[in-house]
Amino acid sequence: MTRLSVNINKVALLRNARGSNVPNLIQVASDCESFGAEGITVHPRPDQRHVRYDDIPLLREVVTTEFNIEGNPDPDFLKLVLDNPPHQCTLVPDSPDQLTSDHGWDTLKNGDRLQEITAALHEKGIRVSVFIDPIPAMIEGAKKAGVDRIELYTGPFAHQFSQNPNAAMADYVEAAKKANDIQLGINAGHDLNLENLRYFRENCPGLLEVSIGHALIADALYFGLSNTIKMYLNLLRTP
């Protein structure tokens, strides 16, 4: 069964736009869980334009499903995570000025660094996932670094999906097979939505979790947050 983790970064972005506490990020996280979300994902960035560092302890207190903190493991981020251990930490190689994450780790070039970071997170009992492109060699590198899971970067899949779903999925099928063969758990995220999620889930063997934020929050403007979460869950549950 593939779990749905709701990324609430865009809720924080809306809150921050007015410098107030509307919408209340902590309440939204709790409400997402009550509506059926099986995890809450946040991606605090150095400029704190989305979820802020001071939100993390408060969220950790209220999230009762799975708390996933993702981000670039610079010293400030690592201190934040180690001081507030989540269930999972997803390491993402984005630079401070990136609009959004748009590529995975080169686990061969960064293998030693990832191994050191993973060991520190494991000492706190944190499951470690790395954001990665669907390239078998990079998946093998992730395994050597000692991580528990990979999160497949699905942006390219989403961009190609409407033109040729089979071609869009091909690299991800091979990547999933490789991860399964070497016993790495599989997560996925980025640009998954109501149109492409079921197809991806049906064709990615061993998919454990998807993290969805931008599309889900945008859909909630039309359908409401509770209904939208149920719509996404239905795509993950229906045969």
Residue 148's pLDDT is 98
Tell me phi and psi for residue 104, to 5 degrees. -95, 180
Backbone phi, psi, residue 172, to 5°: -75, -35
Residue 159 is among the residues annotated as catalytic for this protein: no
CATH number at residue 140: 3.20.20.70
Domain count along the chain: 1
Q: Can you say whether the dihedral through the CA atoms of 163, 217, 18, 47 is positive or negative?
A: negative
Decide if 93 contacts 104 (C-beta within 8 A).
yes
**pLDDT number for residue 238:** 79
Q: What is the pTM of this model?
A: 0.95
Q: Which domain holds residue 137?
A: 3-237
Match 């699905």 to its residue by tokens.
154
The residues near 38 (Cβ < 8 Å, ≥ 6 apart) are: 3, 4, 5, 65, 66, 209
Q: Would residue 43 show up in a list of annotated catalytic residues for this protein? A: yes
Q: What is the pLDDT of residue 98?
A: 59
pLDDT at 101 over 70: no
Active-site residue identified among 33, 38, 70, 209? 70
Range 80-84, long-range pairs (CB < 8 A, 24+ positions): 80/44, 80/53, 80/56, 81/121, 81/126, 82/120, 82/121, 82/124, 84/56, 84/57, 84/60
- Active-site hit among 33, 43, 66, 209: 43
Catalytic residue among 50, 66, 151, 190: 190
Residue 2 has pLDDT above 70, yes or no: yes
Please name which of 229, 196, 237 lies closest in space to residue 28, comparing C-alpha atoms.
Answer: 229
175 vs 135: CA distance, rounded Å = 6
The pLDDT of 233-239, averaged and rounded, is 91
Q: What is the pLDDT of residues 162-193, one digit of tens each?
A: 999 999 999 999 999 999 999 999 999 999 99
Predicted confidence at residue 94, as pLDDT, reads 77
Active site residue 190: yes
* Mean of per-residue pLDDT scores for the chain: 96
Average pLDDT over residues 112-137: 98
